[in-house]
Structure 1
């Protein structure tokens, strides 16, 4: 018989109550060893915060609104009571535990098992319509004790918050079943299924796992640098580390690097060519969501590929006439659409710019140095070109050559060997002139490290500018910030009026947020519960990547990736930046000529 979910909930409670990593690991080890193989797999998967494996495309489609309605129906709590409980805990699961305990709901006669939970998740994922999901959710929560409901909701929302990362679950699996940790992690990378890896660890077959397409690998990430000098210094440090700390002259070190444009698109991973599923193509975003539906022309192009391939690259909006990338604002029109009309496909065409090859013919290439992966990528692109679209010949030219087709679908990211600081500065300037975000500096000897951010890859991009703005509204955050006003809407001056231009929630310390929260509560104009309009008294300096036209705010503009640099206690509201200044910055952007030439 399957283990009870209450046992899992108690384990989670114990894990949340200690901050010691080794104690957490040992708690998981002891629990896993007491379970059957199937329940151990389910437990490992759920501890990682997922109702389904990474390789499983199913989703529950249950959000906070539906969960709140289910809780209100089960406990009789009104919206005010539910909101107050959420603010006390900063967590809907903990709020549910409190509300269910106070409702004195009679306990269910039959305990909920891990197998039944797995079956319920499958039913919810396949349910058609909100009403069906609501009935299944009510049935599931109705069987749960308050403690079980707490962790059910945490699992459904993907917000376990028990201080356990997936890497620690992997350690526990290896220790529980005397498996090699590196083999456990490799098996998970290959299969994308933590439950299966756990079962393999129990049976001693973890080393027999094989690569599967259509589950996203972790993305290798780049460390940001602000100047050419910083980039060269940090890259030299990386090369020295590779050589055991031996002194390496900067001129020698930089020759180990290649330079690419940093594109203003969507980083994605492309999987195609599975012989078992001919024609299937999947595009995964950095948060591992399948975004294929938003880019049907890429799916159509790569459906012709018959050998298993995983590419790392960028989806970019493209101007065929100018043969260059369009601003990200153009690409935004394509995002989140389940159906892309032909008119939109023609108005905002997209291309795939490939810059790394992760797997070919079922073989992972991650441990090979970048120089070898790049060579294999160039060869592959030449071979794939007839089946997809025109690709420019490889070379050192800064711009792609004009394609014969109306729009290409596959392009190879140009790369050149780094020679000097002067060359790097020119490369950055030219990349910005082409409408791209900046440049990438990559160690040609580096392996591809999924999910890692180190010095092997650097990204150089500079802020467009900063603006001094005033806060006009504040709202409660989420998680540990649920009890404080931490998300701020801000405005610039337009004559005697203030016009909103953005919203930011990063950049300030916890102490500063706590201080501002008290201030805004004392200077509230309108209290709408989660959201408040406040007296325009607090001036912030914000940085951002670029400015977009937008009807989201009454200014007609929005800042992309705004970040709070500091609170400007020294600046009166009368001296904040103006809408005219925003318009000047908007038109001064290097990519404006591209956007206006569409």
Structure 2
């Protein structure tokens, strides 16, 4: 845009940037038009982003009270301060530009802009473009610091504080060689226009020209914010919910039903004009934000959980559904005689990603996709249009069972090309559990029970293509546990409990839909002690240091130095959760100077990663360490599952760090043989417990009494604590006095008496008045008169009761450690905080609000931490990117490996000279066979293959053959080669052991 053009010319050119003006005016007849050119791009960060970040740095507990400053501003809460900043910027835009705020909104919350395509650029690609634009040597320290932006500041030019912050690292480099020192003259509209061009090109040359244009017209700070916008990692300290709410009172409601920023800005430009009731409902072919299930971890039992579903004495019914491991999807269908097949379809994910290109727009023709071509008979004859809510999952027809969601995109692409409709392999299956719109009628105001009736009348279904998701009608909380055990045994995610009397609420989590998941398995106890062999650098606050670690299993503990198997490890799992700041510091202190950078061209021979034999580079760490120089970690997990990403071909599901085993040397860590034996014992014990539990439940049912089976622990559920005082349990609060002023309100209700009994049961002293005792802790959770009096004096801190419960919970969790009191956390623990203590207490949590000293209390707190991560990281989780990463690791041949040895029945001939090496080989070979669809037999009859030890045959000493029929004799090497190649190889080359 010519910087010298008139304001009127600039406005006309900016309007043309939207595309066809007449078409937009017909679609949005009341859309506003700006009277003046848009603000300069730099106004976004000088007047909005940077002030918001400054207010975030001063974040303090919302309940804390501060004295007003000389200008009357310091008494504002951080939330109020952020609202003022946003309101001022919007007011300036309305005054100096006009009512069309969309150009600014799409740069403020770029992750919510569905009108602009993805750029296809990640950090390294942007770094290479900047290196080329700035004409710096690609082997220079500056170039390396941008390419290796996660690494700590070991290079002379790289600051340690920017490790893990790509935009910050780019600023360091760009600020040394700016073409402009002052802010540039690009307007917000010009930036949008250029970003549209960037999103529409995949040519590296065109990308280079666009970045060169930005470089010539922006200073380093502008470029830094531009990079954050492109990466959709804004980190401005305010959520889109806050910004939408300030723009218009109904903006969030309209966004929930449309997922369309453009529509929000153009239809709701006047805060005085409110939406009518008819305008707040979902409509056909318009993506909406679906209702979400809550994870009710605050209740302590299934009984209380069911109470939350609000059953009545007249109707105590609630529904139990299996929680599916797939992708949330909404399907829109309407009659359209102008398209092939007469029906038009729309598919959108929970994140408003349009999937019609994959699953189909029409029933026939070129735009019939992986699903629509097969569902022409899925709807009733009288159904003109409908909107269905459900889960898109992958179904394996060969085993007739659901497959993990990581295979969904691959299966859909394959099925899209399956014009013959072959009834084998993996395919997408849409499981529908709700109907929100039917024959021009909005159903969200109706109860779930009524919506289900409408669903059953409208959808006939097509077997293993589009099906109605089943549910079980329940009346008692005792019916939950057997169903949970059933789905867990089938490797399912868990359950969803639903209130059939509830209405559908867009973009809400409430007690009408409740998720129930199993707790971490405890059968392994404290035996999962594994040696660290690799480290991965983190990002953000943990940038420049290892944030997660690769753990391995020792191949041969008995190997001596000089032996090829000495210190050799197979990669087993990657763990990054559960570490406190002290844990990281302890690991760093014990391994300082012993880490080596991982060279993909010359990987260390003592560490084998997952992947093909020729290229074992899956889950490659940034650095590696010799086991003899390393540490041993104790970890827990939800389960053990098969995985080609690790050399063991199995890994831990949801691994979590428990503690650093400073009492163990690397030789005390688990070996392959020890873990496989442990795994076999756990599986055997689990089966025995299941049988015992089933027997007890059956007996209890016969007696019409409450089950005596041990209840399954719900993940994150708060552990119950006996409150009546019956003598001290431990000395957790020894030496402390507690003045408990009120009942507990949040997160659960407890009486003042219960809290006092809790304190006494852990050796704390209870007093009934304030004193000058330095060991006195004042506790309150209500603004009573006496509490407000203490707040006004501002001479002491007041702690929330939840701190007491957190201390007890952490002490119980850390059974191997001496109980200790947790440090106070400003937001979670402090009811009133003196101004002098704000800084120190805020340092007890990381930038996301995650405590360095304690485990997360429940899933609600985990969600809060995740929501802070979304704010800092500039967006929410992009499932498409995650699926693409899974495909990169798994590749299409892995799907075949899961059944490449189907119909094989294998017998392993015992060896007369067994040793650890042979036992390890046999256990791995058996796992390969099971994972590949084969069967292990303990008898010789009816087998297809006999595996014999090295140097032996399938013939007994008396000359009789062990097996009959056409069974093949092979060695362990044949099984290993089949697994490495991903297919069966010729047996004749491996017919001897």
Q: TM-score range by the shorter chain?
A: 0.7 to 0.9
> Normalization by structure 2: what TM-score?
0.50
Q: Does 1:350 align with 2:428?
A: yes
Q: 1:109 offset after TM fit, Å?
A: 9.6
Q: 1:556 offset after TM fit, Å?
A: 1.9
1:431 alignment partner in structure 2:
487
Q: Aligned to 2:241, which of 164, 167, 192? A: 167
Change (3 A) 1:475 1:459: same
Q: Aligned to 1:542, which of 636, 656, 674? A: 636
Quick check: 355-364 or 6-15, which moved more? 355-364
Q: Does 1:555 align with 2:648?
A: yes
Separation of aligned partners in 2, 1:430 and 1:253: 29
1:4 alignment partner in structure 2:
40
1:445 alignment partner in structure 2:
501
Q: Does 1:414 align with 2:458?
A: no
Q: Aligned to 1:508, which of 574, 579, 603? A: 579
Partner SS state of residue 536, structure 2: strand
Separation of aligned partners in 1, 2:243 and 2:131: 34
Q: Aligned to 1:192, which of 259, 262, 266? A: 259
8 Å contact from structure 1 (residues 254, 418) kept in 2 = no
Q: 1:344 offset after TM fit, Å?
A: 9.7
8 Å contact from structure 2 (residues 186, 218) kept in 1 = yes
Partner SS state of residue 239, structure 1: coil
8 Å contact from structure 1 (residues 544, 559) kept in 2 = yes
Separation of aligned partners in 2, 1:452 and 1:464: 31
Separation of aligned partners in 1, 2:591 and 2:502: 49
Separation of aligned partners in 2, 1:122 and 1:485: 37
Change (3 A) 1:267 1:546: farther
Change (3 A) 1:506 1:268: farther
1:171-223: CA deviation from partner (whole Å, max 9, x where unpaired): 2213xxxxxx2x22211122322243233332455516573635352451331
Separation of aligned partners in 1, 2:443 and 2:292: 13
1:380 alignment partner in structure 2:
458
1:61-87: CA deviation from partner (whole Å, max 9, x where unpaired): 121122111222344363333334475
Separation of aligned partners in 2, 1:32 and 1:430: 54
Q: 1:260 offset after TM fit, Å?
A: 0.8
Q: Does 1:155 align with 2:229?
A: yes
Q: Aligned to 1:133, which of 207, 228, 247? A: 207
1:264 alignment partner in structure 2:
325
Separation of aligned partners in 2, 1:61 and 1:583: 43
Q: 1:544 offset after TM fit, Å?
A: 3.3
2:595 alignment partner in structure 1:
524
Separation of aligned partners in 1, 2:582 and 2:508: 30
2:879 alignment partner in structure 1:
none
8 Å contact from structure 1 (residues 270, 310) kept in 2 = yes
Q: Aligned to 1:369, which of 426, 430, 447? A: 447
Q: Aligned to 1:30, which of 69, 88, 96? A: 88
Change (3 A) 1:444 1:470: farther
Separation of aligned partners in 1, 2:493 and 2:183: 60
Separation of aligned partners in 1, 2:677 and 2:344: 48
Q: 1:531 offset after TM fit, Å?
A: 1.3
8 Å contact from structure 1 (residues 226, 460) kept in 2 = no
Separation of aligned partners in 2, 1:581 and 1:329: 30
Separation of aligned partners in 2, 1:344 and 1:554: 34
Q: 1:559 offset after TM fit, Å?
A: 3.5
Partner SS state of residue 210, structure 2: helix
1:550-590: CA deviation from partner (whole Å, max 9, x where unpaired): 1x222122344434344444555424364525874998899
Partner SS state of residue 370, structure 2: helix
Q: Aligned to 2:125, which of 37, 46, 66? A: 66
Change (3 A) 1:253 1:162: farther
Separation of aligned partners in 2, 1:569 and 1:300: 60
8 Å contact from structure 1 (residues 546, 586) kept in 2 = no
1:307-360: CA deviation from partner (whole Å, max 9, x where unpaired): 5543332223324476x4233288367279699654998411231111123444
Quick check: 337-346 or 183-192, which moved more? 337-346
Q: 1:491 offset after TM fit, Å?
A: 1.8
8 Å contact from structure 1 (residues 270, 284) kept in 2 = yes
Q: 1:115 offset after TM fit, Å?
A: 0.9
Partner SS state of residue 147, structure 1: helix
1:404 alignment partner in structure 2:
none
8 Å contact from structure 1 (residues 239, 253) kept in 2 = no
2:145 alignment partner in structure 1:
81
Q: 1:545 offset after TM fit, Å?
A: 4.6
Separation of aligned partners in 2, 1:373 and 1:235: 21
1:401 alignment partner in structure 2:
none
Separation of aligned partners in 2, 1:508 and 1:205: 50
Q: 1:526 offset after TM fit, Å?
A: 3.6
Separation of aligned partners in 1, 2:430 and 2:493: 17
Q: Aligned to 1:325, which of 401, 405, 422? A: 401
Q: Aligned to 2:370, which of 291, 297, 306? A: 297
Q: Where in structure 2 are the equivalents of 1:577-592 lying within 5 Å? A: 578=672, 579-581=675-677, 584=680
Separation of aligned partners in 1, 2:44 and 2:459: 48
2:269 alignment partner in structure 1:
202
8 Å contact from structure 2 (residues 358, 370) kept in 1 = no
Q: Which runs of 5+ in 2 are unaligned?
A: 1-36, 57-77, 360-368, 558-567, 601-620, 688-897, 899-926, 936-993
Separation of aligned partners in 1, 2:376 and 2:212: 41
8 Å contact from structure 1 (residues 541, 565) kept in 2 = yes
1:407-437: CA deviation from partner (whole Å, max 9, x where unpaired): x311111112222344222222332344433
Q: 1:151 offset after TM fit, Å?
A: 1.3
Q: Does 1:17 align with 2:54?
A: yes
Separation of aligned partners in 2, 1:226 and 1:26: 34
Q: Does 1:487 align with 2:538?
A: no
Partner SS state of residue 207, structure 1: coil
Separation of aligned partners in 1, 2:170 and 2:465: 49
Separation of aligned partners in 1, 2:493 and 2:648: 24
8 Å contact from structure 1 (residues 37, 198) kept in 2 = no
8 Å contact from structure 1 (residues 472, 534) kept in 2 = yes
Partner SS state of residue 234, structure 1: helix
Q: 1:113 offset after TM fit, Å?
A: 1.0
8 Å contact from structure 2 (residues 640, 653) kept in 1 = yes
Partner SS state of residue 334, structure 1: helix
Separation of aligned partners in 2, 1:334 and 1:557: 22
Quick check: 183-192 or 464-473, which moved more? 464-473
Separation of aligned partners in 2, 1:537 and 1:481: 20
Q: 1:4 offset after TM fit, Å?
A: 0.9
Change (3 A) 1:564 1:380: farther
Change (3 A) 1:525 1:40: same
Figure out how many residues of one structure are paired with residues of the other and give that number. Answer: 554
Separation of aligned partners in 1, 2:197 and 2:426: 38
Greater RCO structure (CA 8 Å; 6+ sep): 1
8 Å contact from structure 1 (residues 326, 435) kept in 2 = no
Separation of aligned partners in 1, 2:413 and 2:587: 38
8 Å contact from structure 1 (residues 477, 487) kept in 2 = yes
1:456-476: CA deviation from partner (whole Å, max 9, x where unpaired): 323333245664433211111
Greater helix share, 1 or 2? 1
1:177 alignment partner in structure 2:
none
1:471-503: CA deviation from partner (whole Å, max 9, x where unpaired): 211111122322321022222334334211222
Greater strand share, 1 or 2? 1
2:113 alignment partner in structure 1:
53
2:814 alignment partner in structure 1:
none
Separation of aligned partners in 2, 1:233 and 1:507: 28
